[in-house]
């Protein structure tokens, strides 16, 4: 059963990757399906922070749906919305990453999590990257490369090769996403 869920997660995740790069309006729904499958995988692997992360992804997908409807009201999909990241957001993000990552690591040390370092780091970097994605900051792609590399290490430590392949796909898509957003992006002022 777990193998079927891993395959489902890989397939929906690959579809999400393509939709995310193209900023297709239904990408958020595919993100919900992928996160639901990954949630089951994380719980089965005792990756507690990653399980919470998948629940967060589901919530952020709902936020993404709402944000995109607001941003795109009355507009054609001729360009990609890229919002200029305010410097204060970068500072807040760095503080969240350092402090939140350290706190989560110490919490995970007290559980049966088999890889608390990678689980904590993957969680906190992904939290910030998902926040940046929902706000359409192009820098999100760079953060995803780092977060997904850590997630590959996490799932490789438990031999979940379908999940490793999914995160490898996410890394490749991040490089494509950067180029695509730079080419097709239309910047908006920070909100």
Per-residue pLDDT tens for 21-35? Answer: 777 878 999 999 999
Per residue in 73-107, pLDDT (tens digit) is 655 556 667 888 889 999 999 999 999 999 999 99
Tell me which residue has tokens 């097709």. 184
Measure the CA–CA gap between 188 and 25, rounded to whole angstroms.
19
Distances (CA, A) of 189 to 39, 71, 83, 84, 173: 35, 12, 6, 6, 25
């Amino acid at each position: 059963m777990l193998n079927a869920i891993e395959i489902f997660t890989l397939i929906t995740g690959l579809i999400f990757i393509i939709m995310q790069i193209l900023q297709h309006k239904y990408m958020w729904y595919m993100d919900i399906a992928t996160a639901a499958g990954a949630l089951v995988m994380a719980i089965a692997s005792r990756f507690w922070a990653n399980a919470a992360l998948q629940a967060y992804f589901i919530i952020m997908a709902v936020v993404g749906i709402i944000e995109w409807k607001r941003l795109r009201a009355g507009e054609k999909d001729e360009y990609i919305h890229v919002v200029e990241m305010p410097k204060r957001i970068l500072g807040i993000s760095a503080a969240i990453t350092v402090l939140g990552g350290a706190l989560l690591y110490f919490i995970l040390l007290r559980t049966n999590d088999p890889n608390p370092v990678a689980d904590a780091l993957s969680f906190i970097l992904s939290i910030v990257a998902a926040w940046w994605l929902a706000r359409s900051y192009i820098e999100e792609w760079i953060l995803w490369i780092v977060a997904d590399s850590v997630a590959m290490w996490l799932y490789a430590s438990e031999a979940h090769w379908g999940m490793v392949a999914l995160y490898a796909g996410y890394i490749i898509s991040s490089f494509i996403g950067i180029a695509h957003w730079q080419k097709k992006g239309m910047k908006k002022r920070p909100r």
